[in-house]
Amino acid sequence: MHSTPGSTTDRVLGILDLFTEAAPLWTAEAMMERLGATRSTLYRHLRALTDAGFLAPAGGAFVLGPRIVALDRQIRVTDPLLRVAPAVMAGLRDAVAGTQLLCRFYGTRVLSIHEEKSDPRIRTSFDRGRTFPLFRGSASRSILANLPQAELRRLFLAHASEIAAAGLGGTWPEFRDGLKAIRLRGHAILSDIDPEVIGASAPIFAAPGLVTGSLVLARLKQEVTERDLDHLAAMVKETTARISAALQGLQA
Amino acid sequence: MHSTPGSTTDRVLGILDLFTEAAPLWTAEAMMERLGATRSTLYRHLRALTDAGFLAPAGGAFVLGPRIVALDRQIRVTDPLLRVAPAVMAGLRDAVAGTQLLCRFYGTRVLSIHEEKSDPRIRTSFDRGRTFPLFRGSASRSILANLPQAELRRLFLAHASEIAAAGLGGTWPEFRDGLKAIRLRGHAILSDIDPEVIGASAPIFAAPGLVTGSLVLARLKQEVTERDLDHLAAMVKETTARISAALQGLQA
DNA sequence: ATCGTTATTCCCGATATGCGGGAATTCTTG
DNA sequence: CAAGAATTCCCGCATATCGGGAATAACGAT
């Protein structure tokens, strides 16, 4: 074979990479061409994915399958963070007057896992399932600032240019000390992703010192004053403290 | 090798089967034992799944990963049915005074893909992602009744005993004619899954004659009269007709 | 229903790939 | 910084995957 690296399994799972928001529907023919796979091999792989429910035939083409939806439900039902946080967030609706985003950290990406929206004008489709880059956005910042040193160093070595581009410093001490300041402050305020929206975030801990996610309280930037931001910051710190406590109570 | 059938890919995907609502967290050790796999092989497979984001390490064990949540979002964002139905359903909230379930048909299973709940006492965690058996429940019944004959025959041959158990007839003509009656009536009323809840459903068509899902309007059984059921039936028929029309308008 | 067309599965020999035992490495944690 | 655990690497052998093409099944239209 030529330009297809990785094992068979990687190639099979790689098929799922084709299915994006922009291209949610693929015919076997199109996949063959795109992947440079032969007909029998591709169909064998499609069958494996279809049998497992990750793909489903839809009128001559394939779409992402029901298993994904079912597995997402399992995650929702079993995630301890989702057992405690949504209720707390619902109680904050009116006080925030914007949008709240609960995020979870997955080693390399930050994922929004729950949204509580009260300002319909914020049309950031910050849905559950949206991923954020680790070095941009308020949610990620609060997480990053609370990662263990060893992990930070690894990240710095692997992503120096991204880190510099995000204004997080060009040297390791700059990076580390900047994050330390955020950690000590206890919250991060950023308008980094959508320029019309500004968010205050704070970390959520699954155990003392072990950051597992963050909460963002966001509002339309042009409508908030300095005082509002201070208020949001205080609120998000207080709220994440409560969520962390509840989370750790669950596990005990 | 012994009792592990299927291809490598099947075995890798099979790992995900372990992760259930009751057992959402697996250590490598536990998986080795359960699957009868050797250490290196298991870890190779875990790595493939983890790299693809379908699993994630969580403190010495593994859980379902962020990719699943992200893919579910893609499905939500790109599903035409979800583009038209939720707004219609939201408009019915007060009129239904119960719970509405939007379901999609996936060849072999019926999956709830959206819920609009207005009666909090119905605690059926009929969440998005819940799967229903094809031969039970109102949602499935309306779909089944509108499947092409060829597919029905195939289903009957493959699942005769389930079909009989569900009271759908012990012979092919019984089965076919029973479903035909439902199809002509245009709706199905059943209290088949949760005995406290009764639901009226009607099919949704992606194209004339091509059933793609169904809508269920459900209420607490002990609170509904015959008249209420008639009303629900009329409402669900009218609503699914509108959803089908909107859906077919989209594609044109 | 019947046929032509397209989509999907099956077959089988050559060969690349996954398997497993164990050692090496990396990650945790005190 | 060291001991223990978790994870990856290594490599020869056996096996499952690949691909070309034919067979079959599903689909659509007459």
Asked if B128 lies within 8 A of A69 by C-beta distance, the reply is: yes
pLDDT band for position B48 (cuts 50, 70, 90): very high
- Same CATH topology for A8-69 and A79-251: the answer is no
Tell me the C-alpha distance between A126 and A129, whole Å: 8
Average pLDDT on A127-155 reads: 94
How many angstroms separate the CA of residue B244 from the nearest CA in chain A?
Answer: 17
Residues of chain A positioned with their CB less than 8 A from the CB of B129: 69-74, 76
The domain made up of A8-69 has a fold known as Arc Repressor Mutant, subunit A (1.10.10)
pTM listed for this prediction: 0.94
pLDDT reported for residue A127: 84
SS3 B114: strand
How many angstroms separate the CA of residue B69 from the nearest CA in chain A?
Answer: 5
- How far CA A154 is from CA of A108, A149, A157, A167, in Å, comes to 11, 9, 5, 18
Which DSSP letter does residue B26 get? B
Residues of chain A positioned with their CB less than 8 A from the CB of B12: 9, 12
Q: What is the pLDDT of residues B134-167, one digit of tens each?
A: 999 999 999 999 999 999 999 998 899 999 999 9
Lowest mean pLDDT among A113-122, A218-227, B229-238: A113-122
Closest CA to A146 of A210, A240, A235: A210
Which nucleotides in chain D have some atom under 7 angstroms from a protein Cβ? 5-10, 15-22, 26-28
Element (H, E) at B215: strand B210-220
For A70-134, the three-class secondary structure string (H helix, E strand, C coil) is HHHHHHHHHCHHHHHHHHHHHHHHHHHCCEEEEEEEECCEEEEEEEEECCCCCCCCCCCCCEECC
A79-251 homologous superfamily: GAF domain (3.30.450.40)
Q: What is the token pair recorded at B241?
A: 């007709």
What residue ranges do the domains of chain A occupy? Answer: 8-69, 79-251
How crowded is residue A176: how many other Cβ atoms within 10 Å of its Cβ? 16
pLDDT reported for residue A1: 41
Element (H, E) at B190: strand B188-190
Which DSSP letter does residue B144 get? H
Out of B7, B24, B48, closest to residue A10 by CB: B48
Q: What is the pLDDT of residues A150-206, one digit of tens each?
A: 899 899 988 999 999 999 999 999 999 999 999 999 999 999 999 999 999 999 999
Asked if A7 lies within 8 A of B48 by C-beta distance, the reply is: yes
pLDDT reported for residue A5: 65
A148 close to B (CB below 8 A) = no
B70 close to A (CB below 8 A) = yes
